[in-house]
Amino acid sequence: MSTPKVAFYTLGCKLNFSETSTIARNFEEEGYQRVEFESDPDVVVINTCSVTENADKRFKTIVKQAQKSNPDAFIIGIGCYAQLKPEELAGVNGVDLVLGATEKFKVTDYITDLTKNDFGEVHSCEIDEADFYVGSYSIGDRTRAFLKVQDGCDYKCTYCTIPLARGISRSDKLKNVLKNAREISEQGIKEIVLTGVNIGDYGKGEFGNKKHEHTFLDLVKALDQVEGIDRVRISSIEPNLLKDETIDFVAHSKCFVPHFHIPLQSGSNTLLKKMRRRYLRELYIDRVERIKNQMPDACIGVDVIVGFPGETDDLFLETFTFLNELDISYLHVFTFSERDNTPAAEMEDAVPLKVRKKRSKMLRGLSAKKRRAFYESQLNSTHEVLFEGKNKSGYIHGFTENYVKVKSFWNPELVNTKHQVLLNEIDEDGVVKIDFVTEPVLTS
């Protein structure tokens, strides 16, 4: 029998990408050959997301694409949507197997043969059984890796299904995080992005209980000592868990970069309380000011939700004005969508979809303005760029340590190398053009 081929498709967050990569390595250890999604695979694994309604709908589209590539492909659904609505996912035409939160890391155990099923077979646990930790990291990109350090969430935000999909907050053991970081380093990858559901909660569940043997600050300090990793980014951290000590350490660390992504969700205290967030806008202002005082060139990204129930025109304007006046660099804008089994789905004063979309468009426009202003503030200054691996219309792209996207003429020898550059001007595509401070030495 020829070697079976397996392909993967990942929806959603960096955490999903890290887990897909680990699951793919498990398949390879079992004798499968990993191929591209379009390369006639025998098995297709789709790692799903359920943060937004659109992510649910995309699953069906991807299944159809997989069937076009190979009508006989054995199609498996895993991830958050698979845990929340396994029967619904199993009912999609062409789906053969659906695995929940605890089963997904043992996917090869559930494949007895590759015969298509008339209806998707479901193996899904009760979410309170998802109380153990499985470490993972992605190494598909030569430049950066996503390193999972934490999973699950104990928060009860009224709009969010993640605790229902991923279970309680739990962490990887510190020694295992460091082992994974060293393995990443040995692959020649220069940047690690820390990922999880609520990474500031790191330490909880590390030894099977709620006691914090280690804190997020302990994790940051330990990773700063790993040889061979040039950069570490903190992907997303709750403002109430981003402590002064962490900000101060990052400001003077060897490899942590001045880039923070801090969820806000609303600039209105009224809505923050309805969302059951664990802070008010005043704390958010304090976090931004602390970062900018320590690291004036730091990049700060913000998550924001528009159209939450009860968001009047005045409350939306409160958020818009708050963000406009805040010294931040870009926004990730999410249009509120009702999710089953969440308190927000039952709330009164729903915002019409047309209004939600209009407000999203306004905030995306504000994000473009903020990013442009941040890039302009960095022009005529010198930064270190790590170049990435793709030829995009004759250019190679990269990011500075503080997350300014830059480009230079394509040269394959620049891939996965760092260089001091002068930021010159913003091109018409919004990417910054550069000059090398010292011209790279080419071997060809």
CATH of the domain at 331: 3.30.750.200
The domain boundary residue, chosen from 68, 93, 125: 125
Helices and strands of the chain, counted as H and E runs: 12, 19
- With 80 as the cut, is the pLDDT of residue 130 above it? no
- With 90 as the cut, is the pLDDT of residue 134 above it? no
Q: Judge whether 210 lies within some domain.
A: yes
Which one, of 127, 167, 133, 125, lies nearest residue 150 by Cα? Answer: 133
Q: Judge whether 442 lies within some domain.
A: no
Once rounded to an integer, what is the mean pLDDT over residues 183-197?
93
Count of the separate structural domains present in the chain? 4
- With 80 as the cut, is the pLDDT of residue 44 above it? yes
Once rounded to an integer, what is the mean pLDDT over residues 343-368?
97
Q: Judge whether 225 lies within some domain.
A: yes
pLDDT in the model for residue 14? 84
Residue 224 exposed, middle or buried by CB count within 10 Å (0-12, 13-18, 19+): middle
Mean pLDDT value across the chain = 92
* Cross-strand bridge partners of residue 96: none
- pLDDT bin (cut points 50, 70, 90) of residue 53 is low
Residues 203 and 273 in one domain: no
Q: Judge whether 313 lies within some domain.
A: yes
Q: Judge whether 333 lies within some domain.
A: yes
279 CB neighbour count, 10 Å cutoff: 18
pLDDT in the model for residue 1? 55
- With 70 as the cut, is the pLDDT of residue 208 above it? no
pLDDT in the model for residue 438? 82
Q: Judge whether 388 lies within some domain.
A: yes
Residues 265 and 374 in one domain: yes
pLDDT digits (tens, 9 = 90+) for 371-390: 999 999 999 999 999 999 88
Distance CA 55, CA 48 (A): 8
The domain boundary residue, chosen from 331, 356, 378: 378
Residues 52 and 146 in one domain: no
Give me 356's structure tokens.
């939600």
The residue with greater pLDDT, 71 or 134, is 71
Q: Judge whether 100 lies within some domain.
A: yes
Please give the backbone phi and psi of residue 233, each rounded to the nearest 5 degrees, phi first: -110, 140
Residues 227 and 316 in one domain: no
Residues 137 and 247 in one domain: yes
pLDDT digits (tens, 9 = 90+) for 392-405: 999 999 999 999 99
Q: Which residues contact 440 (CB under 8 A, 6 or more apart)?
A: 411, 413, 414, 417, 419
Q: Is the Cα torsion angle 206, 211, 214, 215 positive or negative in sign?
A: positive
pLDDT in the model for residue 336? 95
Which range of residues forms the domain containing residue 299?
261-278+286-378
pLDDT digits (tens, 9 = 90+) for 54-85: 766 788 899 999 998 888 999 999 999 889 98
Distance CA 252, CA 248 (A): 7
Give me 245's structure tokens.
């000590």
Model pTM score: 0.90
pLDDT digits (tens, 9 = 90+) for 166-175: 998 999 999 9
Q: Judge whether 112 lies within some domain.
A: yes
- With 90 as the cut, is the pLDDT of residue 235 above it? no
pLDDT digits (tens, 9 = 90+) for 297-316: 999 999 999 999 999 999 99
pLDDT in the model for residue 158? 97
Share of the chain above pLDDT 70, in %: 94
Residues 214 and 191 in one domain: yes
CATH of the domain at 392: 2.40.50.140
Residues 94 and 51 in one domain: yes
Residues 358 and 420 in one domain: no
- pLDDT bin (cut points 50, 70, 90) of residue 439 is confident
pLDDT in the model for residue 55? 64
- pLDDT bin (cut points 50, 70, 90) of residue 441 is low
pLDDT digits (tens, 9 = 90+) for 85-128: 889 889 999 999 999 888 998 899 999 888 888 788 898 766 76
Share of the chain above pLDDT 90, in %: 73
